[in-house]
Amino acid sequence: MRFNYGYEEEKPGRNYDLNLLKRLFIFGKPYKLLFFWSVILVVSITLLDLSLPYITKIAIDRYIVPREVTREDILKQGGNKAGSYRASLSDPDVRNLLSKRNIKFKDKETYALIPADEIRKMDKEDIYILRKNDLKGVGIAASILLILVIAGFCLNFFETMLIEYAGQMIMHDLRMRLFKHIQDLPVPFFTRNPTGRLVTRVTSDVQNMHEFFTSVIAFVFKDIFLLAGIMIVLIGINWKLALASFTVIPFVILASFRFSGRARDAFRTLRIKIAEINSRIAETIGGIKVIQLFGKEDENYERFKKLNHENYIAGMEQIRVLAVFMPLIELLGSVAVALVIFYGGISVLDEKVTLGALVAFISYMKMFFRPIRDIADKYNILQNAMSSAERIFIILDTNDTNDSKAGESGYSVLSTDRHKFDTIKSVEFRNVSFGYVPEEEVLSNISFEIKAGEKIAIVGPTGTGKTTLLNLLTRFYEPSSGRILINGTGIEEVPPSFLRSKMAIVMQDSFLFSGTVRENIARGKNGIKDQDMDHIMDVSNCREIIERLPQGLDTVLSEGGKSISSGERQLISIARAFARDPEIIMLDEATSYVDSETERRIEIALNNLMEGRTSIIIAHRLMTAQRADRIIVVNKGRLIESGTHEELVRLKGFYYMLNNV
């Protein structure tokens, strides 16, 4: 896997939509029952939607304009055909009306065909008597429509709740999986990937997955079912009129394929720019003191302005695609409706199609293009989700986690010979070489051994690889060559989590988490009792500073512990190391950047911490190194001297020169 070191995002080269969809569906598998019921509800909602225009057709043709044209009907003036109203003779009120008014009609035994001219001569009371069953039918049709609408509302509510719950749970699982995976990645990964990029993956990219699962999956089923149902109903009503309205479908398909590629590229670019903006903002906030100190606000502003403009261009490209595509679909839908009105209107005039059928056709055509617009919109969401999924899976496919490098044999050693690691008796660096950048070695052929309980100091000029030795021992990085052995077993055969449980490190600038002081100390070990906490505060020499805080152990610290001084942070980090009760203590010049009084406190706490433990001290101040059992001198990545302070002084070598500088 290739990484860059700046803010420019990697650009996936090929589209693997099917593979991405398969991998995304794995996250939805635990909730397949919810999706199943969502689909059932969607099908039910679709059937309800399909029934509404058809009930309208029945109401118009059977009750509102129930006209029947017979062969005996003659062509009236104006070229319009006169129809006949069909009245039931089983209704006594209708029979009384026909006999009382002497209305001419054609007797068909069970019903009468009353010419339209006769109906025009009637007053409102007679027409009401004649059509009271029609009015009753219209009321029944309206009631059925109202019931169906209410039923659709209820089904939509439950379907939305089900699909949203499933989507939220999938998003929760995906975010937790991504967060856990990022936590398990080795330190080099974080040096190659800006914070903003990773934040984007866990936040907005995962949110796009939520839209995919909630907006796309269930509604695609709904839209497909609705389209298929509309086509079947339209063909059933009048297949000729249906075929005429379907002539625009090839143009819709062509437009969809034409704009899909452009939409995918636009969404990809937009995701890249958002991640780059997040990275830039994270760097600005982290380095705000340096920016202000050196007066680089304007320069930093211009760099962000350029990046923000690129994001604007990417956003406008996305908008241009949608601004052309969506109105084009609307236009094609209007053309289809116009064809229905033209061809259907002629058919109504020719009495080949009823008015109710035409009205239903127009309603169905509007419904027909609604799912097409929805599918186009969902396709855009799908493209956006695929762009995010590509980048999420780039992270998840980064398998260079430290635990993954502990092979099967390593876990076997740990499970069968766990007693070998109950106590760390020795640490050995054997011909270890390492470089952060290929072909640029920081350490070269380093070899030394530390016995249990021994205190060693590592000294040398800045940049000679002293801290790198600690990074290798904690397996933040892996040696380029050589081995590091714990009790004679290579650390590559032991999971880092188990190895690190035996260690604690106190660095120059200790990092504290946002939360209470108690929570920060307890991060070293879970389940610390109050009496144990009292002992930890005493031996770490931080009781006084903690009691000075407003709420003592329950005082909430800001991010990084910036609300307290560096010395106070250092003492709390020592208390955290005590809580862990490690076997190996690593100190990376833990007394730097503090005043003499605080340094004295830290020295006492560190002496307590190192008591009876194997200790490795990175010493920039040679006074610190003099108290060690053994001193290792490193220069230009090589181990050049080793011995006690007195032995190295007598050699009058590099260490002696450092003492006299």
The pLDDT assigned to 633 comes to 92
627 in a structural domain: no
CB 483 within 8 A of CB 490: yes
Mean pLDDT of 502-530: 80
Identify whether residues 230 and 308 lie together within a single domain: yes
* DSSP for residue 437: B
The pLDDT assigned to 109 comes to 60
Identify whether residues 354 and 211 lie together within a single domain: yes
Q: Using the structure block, give the residue that is written with the tokens 């689909």.
A: 39
The pLDDT assigned to 228 comes to 83
Higher local confidence (pLDDT), 458 or 93:
458
The pLDDT assigned to 411 comes to 46
Q: Which amino acid is at 603?
A: E
CB 6 within 8 A of CB 283: no
The pLDDT assigned to 275 comes to 74
Give 631's pLDDT tier (boundaries 50, 70, 90).
very high
Query: Given a cut of 60, is residue 625 above it in pLDDT?
Result: yes
Helix (H, G, I), strand (E, B) or coil at 572: helix
Q: Using the structure block, give the residue that is written with the tokens 């298929």.
A: 228
Mean pLDDT of 457-465: 87
Query: Given a cut of 70, is residue 416 above it in pLDDT?
Result: no
Identify whether residues 114 and 258 lie together within a single domain: no
* DSSP for residue 436: S
Last residue of a domain, one of 379, 396, 413: 396
CA–CA gap between residue 6 and residue 395 (Å, rounded): 17
The pLDDT assigned to 285 comes to 78
Secondary structure string (H, E, C) spanning 291-332: HHHCCCHHHHHHHHHHHHHHHHHHHHHHHHHHHHHHHHHHHH
CA–CA gap between residue 204 and residue 311 (Å, rounded): 15
Comparing CA positions, the residue from 114, 121, 53, 128 lying closest to residue 84 is 114
Query: Given a cut of 80, is residue 658 above it in pLDDT?
Result: yes
Query: Given a cut of 50, is residue 643 above it in pLDDT?
Result: yes
353 in a structural domain: yes
Q: Within a 10 A sphere around the Cβ of 30, how many other Cβ atoms?
A: 12
The pLDDT assigned to 78 comes to 41
CB 214 within 8 A of CB 298: no
Mean pLDDT of 263-285: 77
Q: What is the DSSP string of 465-509?
A: SHHHHHHHHTTSS--SEEEEEETTEEGGGS-HHHHHTTEEEE-SS
* Segment among 142-151, 326-335, 465-474 with least mean pLDDT: 326-335
Give 22's pLDDT tier (boundaries 50, 70, 90).
confident
316 in a structural domain: yes
Query: Given a cut of 80, is residue 215 above it in pLDDT?
Result: no
Identify whether residues 247 and 107 lie together within a single domain: no
Last residue of a domain, one of 396, 415, 436: 396
CA 494 vs CA 149, 412, 482, 499, 500: distances in Å: 64, 9, 16, 7, 10
Q: Using the structure block, give the residue that is written with the tokens 């090589």.
A: 638
Higher local confidence (pLDDT), 458 or 340:
458
The share of the chain scoring above pLDDT 90, in percent, equals 7
Identify whether residues 77 and 194 lie together within a single domain: no
What pTM value is reported for the model? 0.66
Q: What is the DSSP string of 252-289?
A: HHHHHHHHHHHHHHHHHHHHHHHHHHHHHHHHHHHTHH
Identify whether residues 187 and 248 lie together within a single domain: yes
Mean pLDDT of 162-171: 85
Q: What is the DSSP string of 421-432?
A: GSS--EEEEEEE
Identify whether residues 28 and 88 lie together within a single domain: no
431 in a structural domain: no
Comparing CA positions, the residue from 486, 507, 508 lying closest to residue 496 is 486
Mean pLDDT of 378-392: 77
Q: Which residues of 289-316 are buried (b: 16+ CB within 10 A; e: fewer)?
A: eebeeeeeeeebeeeeeebeeebeebee
124 in a structural domain: yes
Higher local confidence (pLDDT), 200 or 505:
505
Identify whether residues 92 and 203 lie together within a single domain: no
Residues linked to residue 504 through DSSP beta bridges, in sequence order: 585
Identify whether residues 229 and 378 lie together within a single domain: yes
Identify whether residues 27 and 101 lie together within a single domain: no
Give 661's pLDDT tier (boundaries 50, 70, 90).
low
Q: Return the CATH number at 361.
A: 1.20.1560.10
Last residue of a domain, one of 372, 396, 420: 396
548 in a structural domain: no
Domain count across the chain: 2
The pLDDT assigned to 80 comes to 44
Query: Given a cut of 90, is residue 577 above it in pLDDT?
Result: no
CA–CA gap between residue 366 and residue 336 (Å, rounded): 9
CA–CA gap between residue 171 and residue 168 (Å, rounded): 5
348 in a structural domain: yes
State the residue range of the domain holding 311. Answer: 17-32+160-396
CA–CA gap between residue 442 and residue 53 (Å, rounded): 77
CA–CA gap between residue 650 and residue 641 (Å, rounded): 12
Give 116's pLDDT tier (boundaries 50, 70, 90).
low
In this predicted model, what pLDDT tens digit does every residue of 24-79 receive, in sequence order?
A: 888 888 888 888 888 888 888 888 888 888 888 888 877 777 655 444 443 444 44
Distance between terminal CA atoms of the chain?
A: 46
CB 213 within 8 A of CB 166: yes
Identify whether residues 241 and 321 lie together within a single domain: yes
CA–CA gap between residue 444 and residue 465 (Å, rounded): 10
Comparing CA positions, the residue from 634, 640, 659 lying closest to residue 469 is 634
410 in a structural domain: no
Identify whether residues 310 and 197 lie together within a single domain: yes
Helix (H, G, I), strand (E, B) or coil at 558: coil
Chain centroid to Cα 49, Å, comes to: 33
